[in-house]
Chain A
Amino acid sequence: MAAVTADQATQAGAGGPEGADGALAAAFDAAVAADERIEPRDWMPDAYRASLVRQMAQHAHSEIIGMQPEANWISRAPSLRRKAILMAKVQDEAGHGLYLYSAAETLGTGREELLDKLHAGRQRYSSIFNYPTLTWADVGAIGWLVDGAAITNQVPLCRCSYGPYARAMVRICKEESFHQRQGYELLLALSRGTPAQHEMAQDAVNRWWWPSLMMFGPPDDASAHSAQSMAWKIKRHSNDELRQRFVDICVPQAETLGLTLPDPDLRWNEERGQHDFGAIDWTEFQEVLKGNGPCNEQRLGQRRRAHEEGAWVRDAAAAYAEKHSTAHTTARTATVRNGEATA
């Protein structure tokens, strides 16, 4: 269901521009309140548009940067089956990046512009990808915990008020769930393997647990965008609600895996019907966001390098397309002229 388009609202709008704007805003608010989807040609508040561009760009960038920590292990994957799974996953991530850039482009921005902002450090990507993958087990921990956290965050986005974003998330969540199960299964194989493999799995979970909890963003009382995003139904749940949900999901899964979570304060709270857990190191989170995490420079550096070193290839493709589209146009024009001459 689409909200009122700008044209319809202008026609229906009362008198001057102010009245029309008021009608547009009222129609937008009504559509959001009625859980209708906002579509690209619908009127929307500038701040809603800007907020979506920020969030979707960050989401797209995370898919692209997120290829790196996992791709780090493609050439060393310990079996051909695992290698195939990992390559397919990294390929999916590039595909998710493409969906999300396309979705963001419906808001009037371009992929090139968004990539430029990423490369210039003016748009962010998820803090989690600034941590290094030091062992093969990290690939499993990323699948289980990082993709798990992403899914917890993203499933509600399938009902986000902006149609193109919501639809991209439906497709992405299906694939992410698959990756998450594969990551879990990878860890399970290690946990039940040799003592050295078990230790490798535990060490990976120890290193990825807290950064995964940070993926839900700052606590509710310190989250700059949360209230507005929830009012616009871009977000459906607060950061802390989603984080709690994730912890409650992970605890029994860790037990099945035969691995422990590195939090001495983690325990079931009978009264709340949820787990209590220890305090997150928000200083570390802030440092990583500021660019001072273990791999920030490396990740952005590799992304910039791939882009710069690939410039001649993109230039070649553009020049070729230009030459050959001109040739086609000329050929078509000639045909038409001949046609006219014959007629």
Chain B
Amino acid sequence: MTAALALGDDALVLSHRLGEWAGHAPVLEEEVALANIALDLLGQARVLLSLVGDEDELAYLREERAFRNVQLVEQPNGDFAHTIARQLYFSTYQRLLYEQLAAGDGPFAGLAAKAVKEVAYHQDHSEHWTLRLGDGTDASHERMQDAADALWRFTGELFQPVEGVEVDWQSLHGGWLESVTAVLERATLTLPTGPQSGAWTAGAGRQGIHTEPFGRMLAEMQHLHRSHPGASW
């Protein structure tokens, strides 16, 4: 239960953030790509939340403290580089996680086997943009480095074991670091040097301790649903 909620909330919240790009993307192809990724994640969220209960009750009627997503996915979109850095960090994690889950025989094996194909595409997309921005112009290099640095402190939480998610967390972290390091290097960027987690971020999202922008995100997301109690849509 906790596990499905944690993985489902990650996908739900990141999907919402990506949905905020609609109509604002830097190029038309990215309108399509970002919406595509958002839709994949929303699909995953719906399956995972349905394992726990009613998807809409869970999405629209829980308060901030009851959400179990990592803080990384709730971070505001920022500029395109921030969105790409967030996506790089998360999709690399999600791909390795789902690969392990798909290979196992736990309750998420079936879901993970389907989702890992989508997530491989998300990772590919974010890696290519990391390369283009990092190794593009001086200005884009600087923005991509800033974004990679700014979000770094939210990455440690990804590797805090979640009860019911049966994977080798240590190898997950190792694989993630190797993959992200390789991409950043190819993109002529420097692996961030700050701590990968602080007292505030280590596992906090999984315990319902979130960052301030998250409450506003939920207020917007839930407003209409909450305004019409019991209505169906």
Contact = CB atoms under 8 A, between A and B. Distances in A.
Nearest to A307: B26
B220 A75 contact: yes
A316 B31 contact: no
Contacts of A193: 231-233
A261 interface: no
Contacts of B199: none
Interface stretch (A79-87, A165-173, A205-213, A222-230): A79-87
A310 B35 contact: no
B39 A91 contact: yes
A316 B137 contact: yes
Contact of A319 (B20, B26, B136, B143): B136
A312 B220 contact: no
Interface in B91-147: 131-133, 135-137, 139-140, 143
Interface string B189-232: 00000000000000000000000000000001101110010111
B61 to A, nearest CB: 12
A94 B19 contact: no
Nearest to A136: B224
B31 A87 contact: no
Given A75-B221, A83-B42, A84-B42, A315 B136 contact: yes
Contact of B233 (A68, A189, A321): A189
Interface stretch (B52-60, B62-70, B148-156, B167-175): B52-60
A88 interface: yes
Contacts of A302: 23-24
B73 interface: no
A97 B26 CA distance: 15
B26 A314 contact: yes
B25 A91 contact: no
Q: Which of B26, B80, B131, B224 has the most CB of A within 10 A?
A: B26
Contact of B23 (A67, A319, A323): A67
A78 B233 contact: yes
Interface in A191-218: 193-194, 196-197
A314 B55 CA distance: 38
A336 interface: no
A79 B225 contact: yes
A90 B233 CA distance: 19
Contacts of B49: 80
A91 B46 contact: no
Contacts of A71: 22-23
Given A78-B60, A84-B43, A94-B28, A317 B20 contact: no
Nearest to A75: B220
Nearest to A68: B23
B22 A74 contact: yes
Contact of A91 (B36, B60, B231): B36
A320 interface: yes
B46 A306 contact: no
A64 B233 contact: no
B45 interface: yes
A244 B16 CA distance: 41
A71 to B, nearest CB: 4
Given A136-B224, A312-B140, A315-B140, A90 B133 contact: no
Given A67-B31, A196-B228, 17 more contacts: A67-B23, A79-B56, A80-B42, A83-B19, A87-B19, A90-B22, A91-B22, A101-B28, A136-B224, A186-B233, A189-B233, A194-B230, A194-B231, A306-B25, A307-B26, A316-B139, A320-B131
30 contacts: A71-B22, A74-B20, A76-B220, A76-B223, A78-B224, A78-B233, A79-B56, A79-B60, A80-B12, A80-B45, A82-B233, A84-B39, A87-B19, A88-B35, A90-B31, A91-B36, A94-B28, A190-B233, A193-B233, A305-B24, A306-B26, A310-B25, A310-B26, A312-B137, A312-B140, A312-B143, A313-B30, A313-B80, A315-B139, A320-B132
Interface of B: 12, 16, 19-20, 22-32, 35-36, 38-39, 42-43, 45-46, 49, 55-56, 59-60, 79-80, 131-133, 135-137, 139-140, 143, 220-221, 223-225, 228, 230-233
Interface of A: 64, 67-68, 71, 74-84, 87-88, 90-91, 94-95, 97-98, 101, 136, 186, 189-190, 193-194, 196-197, 302, 305-307, 309-321, 323
